[in-house]
Chain A
Amino acid sequence: MSTEYEAVIGLEIHVQLSTRTKMFCGCELSFGDDPNVHTCPVCLAHPGVLPVPNETAVRYALQIGAALDCELAPESTFDRKNYFYPDNPKAYQITQAAKPFCANGNLGGVRIHHAHLEEDAAKTIHTGGGGRIKGSDASLVDFNRGGTPLVEIVTEPDLRSGAQVREWGQLLRATIKQLGVSDVNMEEGSLRCDANISVRPAGSDVLGTKTELKNMNSFRFIERGIEAEIARQKEVVSSGSEVVQETLHFDPSTGELHSLRSKEEAHDYRYLPEPDLVPIVPTQAMLDEARESLPELPAARAERYEALGVQEGAALLLSFETDWAGFFEGVLAADDSIEPRVAANWVTGEFAAELRKQDDQPLADARVTPEALATLVGLVGSKKISHGAGKTVLEEMVASGADPEAVVADKGLEQISDSGELEKIVIQAIEDNPKPAEQVRSGNEKAIGALVGAVMKATQGRADGGEVNRLLRQHLGL
């Protein structure tokens, strides 16, 4: 019997902070401006310059630490990480190795080893030669990004699959977004994720040789990249070979993995304590503020919604998106007789789908208010209109912002409440559709769908589905 293998995955996530200025100088942060307009002697590493830490970045790092349930260090220090590259003008990055601001946290069951503050590198562009430095005609450096404050979050190797990484990554992104300390936009690079991946016989507690998958710009690509790498490693070890420690790049367009560098080419970063900065001792007020200023975070919110009876899927969807959660809570506030489960299904189901269908409208631009949706849900809930008619009304509401009751009146969508009238239509439908009627009678209950459809068509969706079913079955002798 062949050995079962399991994957072990740890993540390093870089979050660009949305402070006004850079980590160690007064240059403004920007995205998309002309190259090299947000620079100064400090972030260009002229001789003689010194770093001065950005206090807001320290506060943001502490907030992230608090949100990840970390211990916040009473004293934190910076270190130099040395390597030569044109995007790193001092030839060292100021980061934290020995005493990071945050350690020993947990988010959604994944342990956080630590989270530290550092500065981002500049952006390099290699012209010609396929965008890589080898074989390029020229290399250009844009220092606008250089010195942007970054928080690097390092997890323990607690993740086991690409799908789990995607889900957890989305939770992390939503959590940080909620804090308002970063744009967490993966395409613009304000959230970047590297994964350390190894495989081992299932149940073993020894870690295998890991590879590092670098810098992918969406959680879907991360999921695919990780799955591809897990498959590759399983094949390697199953065939009796050994995984080689290396850094890999996943190309989402081809699904292929490329080696960037091997262990032998790995840097010796020659860390040393940064002598230009004194240790930072956050005041008790700063530590308290970091913890007390936390908004309700996605994980807690999801738990609260589930406790209200909202289904897990809808609860997660709502919790990850602050504005959707706000809309949902607006619906509940407008009419407290609506069951949270029902409201959540309308918001994340029919309403979200209708927005997508109509030009992919963002929620922020929607013409439907939570109060209007509450009214609609109330109309359906009290059986004034059928669920199907409700969808028709919603379509109109999304298109024009119309009042649901007005739409119901205009279109005459009020449900047929007179059961005598409905019974006539049911009988007529059975007569008009003898074939499915016969099929149902001879035991094929599925064929009843065609008869329901006929009734709905005849009533223009104004009939209550449950009642139609009951009457059909009664008249078909079931």
Chain B
Amino acid sequence: MADLQLLAASGSETAARIASGNVSAGEVLDFWLERAAGDPLNGYLWHADAEAARTGVSADGGALSGVPLAIKDIFCTEGVPTTAASKILGGYVPPYTATSVARTAAAGLPMLGKTNMDEFAMGSSNENSAYGPCLNPWDAERVPGGSSGGSAAVVAGGLAPWALGTDTGGSIRQPAGFCGIVGLKPTYGAISRFGMIAFASSLDQCGPLTRDVTDAALLLGILQGRDEMDSTSVGIEGGVSAPSAERLDGMTFGVPRGLIGEGMEAGVLARFEETLIRICELGGEIVDIELPHAGHAISAYYVLAPAEASTNLSRYDGVRYGLRASDEDLLSMYEVTREEGFGPEVKRRIMLGTYALSSGYYDAYYGRAQRVRTRIVEDFDKAFGLVDFVVTPTSPTVAFKLGEKTTDPWSMYLSDIFTVPISLAGVPAISIPAGLAEPDGGGPELPVGFQIAAPAFGEQKLLEASYALEQAIGFDGSPGLEGGSP
């Protein structure tokens, strides 16, 4: 049955079938629109109809033409509501389209819908969405991770063949790990940020969430490149092509042992160690390395990212667009609009960041955090002088339960302990599924992510190694959704 084959197929497989005439682009779009419309996960905040999905999409886009894409609701889309999962952007319809979305449309990828996320990408569980949490397709009582929780859930849950997300401190990699799919955060500057609603500008980066490494490479190939609308974008020299490596001979993988162990679930650790063995079986070499300052990454990150966020989010003032909760006078317009429009985590970070930048505190907080960041960059430079890749688990745990960490922000922040140092260093990293593991405390098995980081702009090498490892692991990416709803 055509439907079942489409559901199980990766983006590149579907593209190949369209190209060979086996199925039409229209049939593919209809199939996925129907899947997306039946969303049981609250993965989508907005659903396209056939006409909206095709608006602005090139009919002659190239090799991937016709394979529809889910887009995180952080990307501005002209004429289509864009909220960043915040009430303050309720009803906002952007007058322009993000460069990343324009590039996928030019490549012939229709838009299925806009996916749920943590408000302004602030969160690790998708529970900070103003429009309700998104559920993990493997277990509806658990979170899909965040902030790109919706994008990860719809891909893993058979509601989209692939998706766009953004990653600031782990927002692509952690939900990909929690949902058993592939998530790639490219080098800072590889993809334009124009039209991506800013959280922390010096860290935010767009990237793909996909069924397999090949799809991640193909989407990255479309997305990457210098954009004259983003002066921090540079692109990846030589572009990106589909990976084909089968072995890891001669490649070295550094394990920062100092970071790994404490606070980690036994099952996650077991899958991690098994994956290291597979690397060796494929001819790769495992080397212990030090990242002496990575232990301070979370502290530095929670100064720098909120500091940038506090200024990035100041534009939501009720004057020009979005929510205006009062027009009594200027001050109450600002205060009531922002009081009603922002959720608690966003407010917490605005206050943290405002404090960190205040006169008299700047150097003690922001200045110091910047110096830690510089040290972390140096740690990675040094590490990549010794090894080709740095590997860690993507997260210390498998997907946790809804509500489990909402009252304890610090424990929530710690779920990004392996992803944040890499974001601060600005280098590329991928999360690929390493198998399933029982959570501590028991229960059904859930996906475990394996994170691989490479030097800046080393995406092609990173994708080759990930591809070889993916083939050897042979993960079955399905949470058991053949034919029906998850």
Contact segment of A166-174, A182-190, A271-279, A412-420: A271-279
Instruction: Tell whether, in the assembled complex, residue B314 and residue A275 are in contact, meaning their CB atoms are under 8 Å apart.
Output: no
Docked CA distance A91–B194 (Å): 19
Instruction: Tell whether, in the assembled complex, residue B358 and residue A270 are in contact, meaning their CB atoms are under 8 Å apart.
Output: yes
Instruction: Tell whether, in the assembled complex, residue B232 and residue A91 are in contact, meaning their CB atoms are under 8 Å apart.
Output: no
Residue in A48, A51, A90, A275 whose Cβ sees the most chain B Cβ within 10 Å: A48
B195 contacts partner chain A, Cβ-Cβ < 8 Å: yes
B346 contacts partner chain A, Cβ-Cβ < 8 Å: no
* Residues of chain B contacted by A268 (CB below 8 angstroms): 358-359
Chain A contact patch, size range = 20 to 34
- Closest CB-CB distance, B171 to chain A, in whole Å? 16
Docked CA distance A133–B230 (Å): 36
Instruction: Tell whether, in the assembled complex, residue B202 and residue A50 are in contact, meaning their CB atoms are under 8 Å apart.
Output: no
Cβ-defined partner of B194 (8 Å) among A50, A84, A141, A270: A50
Instruction: Tell whether, in the assembled complex, residue B76 and residue A276 are in contact, meaning their CB atoms are under 8 Å apart.
Output: no
Task: Please name the residue on chain B nearest to A272 by beta carbon.
Answer: B357
B260 contacts partner chain A, Cβ-Cβ < 8 Å: no
Q: A80-B311, A268-B358 are contacts. A276–B319 as well, Cβ < 8 Å?
A: no
* Residues of chain A contacted by B96 (CB below 8 angstroms): 41, 46, 49
B317 contacts partner chain A, Cβ-Cβ < 8 Å: yes
Instruction: Tell whether, in the assembled complex, residue A47 and residue B82 are in contact, meaning their CB atoms are under 8 Å apart.
Output: yes
Instruction: Tell whether, in the assembled complex, residue B314 and residue A82 are in contact, meaning their CB atoms are under 8 Å apart.
Output: yes
Instruction: Tell whether, in the assembled complex, residue A92 and residue B193 are in contact, meaning their CB atoms are under 8 Å apart.
Output: no
Docked CA distance A80–B311 (Å): 8
A52 contacts partner chain B, Cβ-Cβ < 8 Å: yes
Instruction: Tell whether, in the assembled complex, residue A133 and residue B330 are in contact, meaning their CB atoms are under 8 Å apart.
Output: yes
B95 contacts partner chain A, Cβ-Cβ < 8 Å: yes
- Closest CB-CB distance, B102 to chain A, in whole Å? 12
- Closest CB-CB distance, A280 to chain B, in whole Å? 9
- Closest CB-CB distance, A275 to chain B, in whole Å? 4
* Residues of chain B contacted by A53 (CB below 8 angstroms): 231
Within A38-58, which residues are at the interface with B (CB < 8 Å)?
Answer: 41, 44-53
Q: Using an 8 Å CB-CB cutoff, how does the interface string of B292-334 with A read, 1 for contact, 0 for none?
A: 0000000000000001101100111101110000000010001
Cβ-defined partner of B202 (8 Å) among A44, A271, A275: A275
Cβ-defined partner of A84 (8 Å) among B95, B193, B202, B317: B317
Cβ-defined partner of B89 (8 Å) among A45, A47, A276: A47
Q: Using an 8 Å CB-CB cutoff, how does the interface string of B339-376 with A read, 1 for contact, 0 for none?
A: 00000000000000010011100100010000000000
Task: Please name the residue on chain A nearest to B359 by beta carbon.
Answer: A268
Instruction: Tell whether, in the assembled complex, residue A272 and residue B194 are in contact, meaning their CB atoms are under 8 Å apart.
Output: no
A86 contacts partner chain B, Cβ-Cβ < 8 Å: yes
* Residues of chain A contacted by B195 (CB below 8 angstroms): 48-49
How would you classify the secondary structure of chain A's contact residues: helix, strand, loop or mixed?
Answer: loop
Task: Please name the residue on chain A nearest to B198 by beta carbon.
Answer: A48
Instruction: Tell whether, in the assembled complex, residue A45 and residue B231 are in contact, meaning their CB atoms are under 8 Å apart.
Output: no
Instruction: Tell whether, in the assembled complex, residue A50 and residue B229 are in contact, meaning their CB atoms are under 8 Å apart.
Output: yes
Instruction: Tell whether, in the assembled complex, residue A86 and residue B330 are in contact, meaning their CB atoms are under 8 Å apart.
Output: yes
* Residues of chain A contacted by B194 (CB below 8 angstroms): 48-50
Docked CA distance A53–B362 (Å): 26
Within A255-303, which residues are at the interface with B (CB < 8 Å)?
Answer: 268-272, 275-278
Q: A270-B359, A276-B231 are contacts. A48–B197 as well, Cβ < 8 Å?
A: yes
Instruction: Tell whether, in the assembled complex, residue B314 and residue A90 are in contact, meaning their CB atoms are under 8 Å apart.
Output: yes
Task: Please name the residue on chain B nearest to A270 by beta carbon.
Answer: B357
Q: A268-B358, A272-B357, A277-B231 are contacts. A84–B196 as well, Cβ < 8 Å?
A: no
B201 contacts partner chain A, Cβ-Cβ < 8 Å: yes
Docked CA distance A275–B94 (Å): 23
Docked CA distance A89–B92 (Å): 16
B interface residues, Cβ below 8 angstroms from A: 74-76, 82, 84, 89, 92, 94-96, 98, 193-198, 200-202, 228-232, 307-308, 310-311, 314-317, 319-321, 330, 334, 354, 357-359, 362, 366
A interface residues, Cβ below 8 angstroms from B: 41, 44-53, 80, 82, 84, 86, 89-92, 133, 139, 141, 268-272, 275-278
A-B CB contact pairs (8 Å), 11 listed: A45-B320, A47-B84, A48-B94, A48-B195, A50-B194, A50-B229, A91-B315, A270-B357, A270-B362, A271-B362, A272-B307
Given contacts A89-B320, A91-B311, A270-B358, 18 further A-B contacts (CB under 8 A): A47-B316, A48-B195, A48-B196, A48-B197, A50-B193, A50-B194, A50-B229, A50-B232, A52-B231, A80-B311, A90-B315, A91-B314, A270-B354, A270-B359, A271-B357, A272-B362, A275-B202, A276-B231
- CB-CB nearest 6 A-B residue pairs: A91-B314, A275-B202, A275-B201, A270-B357, A47-B197, A48-B195
